[in-house]
Amino acid sequence: MPDLAALREPHGFKDSQVWYLTPMGLLVGGENVPRTSGGPPRTVRNIWQNFGADIAAAARKHDVPVELVIATIATESRGNPNAERTEPGFVSYQATPGRVSIGLMQTLISTAREASGNPALGPADLRMPAVSIDAGTAYIARQGGITGFDPPKVACAYNAGGLYHNTGSANRWRMRQYPIGTGAHADRFVAWFNDCFLLFDDPAQAPQPGFVRALQG
């Protein structure tokens, strides 16, 4: 689990807006209420209902807060296990595994192989929810040294392969993410992350490891 005391203090990344964690979610800038996706948390609820057992297992295995896994799935694929995205330069799964992202957590094939320690991992494997979730969660865990499991940093490091300064005027987070020069990716991630605090409205029943349980339980 992350250093909750540090995450509850106002902080940021270089010249970004500040944010901090509260028992109700992540507050950014001068917000008084955590910003969600709006309305009932349908997307994160569907993800939890459909894949909760695999998410919980991967979170325990890699010691990653459950909410970060759910928010990553929501941001990357909206819960579609067959989601696929190719990057410029893609030729084929075999020739360019670093140019195609597959599955719920949209890891590159090459990244999934490295994070999972399975060099034989292929497209069909990553379309299996349990495999994609485990590989993506392993990647979040590996990046924990640079992100501290701080939600916006997790979002940007996962999306951009690390934490890099970006000064785009439309990027309040000041961390590189795609589309470059915007903060859209982290904005979506944080909204889904905050939706998890609505999803787990009974902290005593919230899964572990998790922010809701740690902050409210």
Q: What is the pLDDT of residues 40-70, one digit of tens each?
A: 999 999 999 999 999 999 999 999 999 999 9
192's tokens: 């889904």
As a whole-number percent, the residues of the chain with pLDDT over 70 amount to 100
Cα 161 off chain centre by: 12
Pick among 3.40.50, 1.20.120, 1.10.530, 1.10.8: CATH of 4-216: 1.10.530
Helices (H), 63-142: 66-77, 109-116, 123-126, 129-142
- The confidence score (pLDDT) of residue 103 equals 98
Q: Looking at this protein, which amino acid is placed at residue 153?
A: K
> For residue 151, what pLDDT band results from cuts at 50, 70 and 90?
very high
Tell me the domain boundaries of the chain: 4-216
Q: Is the pTM higher than 0.95? A: yes
What lies within 8 Å, CB to CB, of 165 at 6+ separation is 13, 14, 174, 175, 176
- The two counts, helices (H) then strands (E), for the chain are 10, 5
4-23, pLDDT tens digit by residue? 999 999 999 999 999 999 99
> For residue 199, what pLDDT band results from cuts at 50, 70 and 90?
very high
With H, G, I as helix, E, B as strand and everything else as coil, classify residue 7: helix
137-148, pLDDT tens digit by residue? 999 999 999 999
Strands annotated E in the chain: 19-22, 25-28, 84-86, 100-102, 107-108
- The confidence score (pLDDT) of residue 217 equals 76
- The confidence score (pLDDT) of residue 206 equals 95
| CA atoms of 161 and 196, how far apart (whole Å) | 24
Cβ atoms of 217 and 74 closer than 8 Å: no
Residue the block writes with tokens 């970006």: 166
pLDDT beyond 90 at 1? no
